[in-house]
Amino acid sequence: MEPRRVTITGTRETKEESKDEKMVYSETCSDEILRVLDLPAAVEPAKVKATLKDGVLELDMTKAAPAKTVKGESKAVKVEAKVA
């Protein structure tokens, strides 16, 4: 998280296995994503909250006051995942 930019990264892995009398079939799949989004206004990185629920990422951001914007400031945000 930066004042005017959000970077989203993620990894998804799936494994599938089936067996019958003569054969074992196993498949592993892995996907990675990287998205960088420029924001229309500066936000306060320390106040950003992220939640992931049912595959939907929700970001709650507070707009920064113009005088308090610090250029180059960044912060990692922990995502809370809720599995249904």
Three-state DSSP at 45 gives helix
* Distance of alpha carbon 59 from alpha carbon 62, whole angstroms: 10
Q: Which of 60, 61, 63, 59 is nearest to 35 (CA)?
A: 59
Alpha-carbon dihedral angle through residues 54, 55, 60, 63, given to the nearest 10 degrees: -160
pLDDT digits (tens, 9 = 90+) for 35-78: 999 999 999 888 899 998 988 989 999 988 876 445 666 667 77
pLDDT digits (tens, 9 = 90+) for 8-36: 988 889 999 999 888 999 999 999 999 99
* Distance of alpha carbon 2 from alpha carbon 4, whole angstroms: 6
- Is the pTM higher than 0.75? The answer reads no
Per domain, the residue ranges of the chain are 5-82
* Distance of alpha carbon 9 from alpha carbon 41, whole angstroms: 22
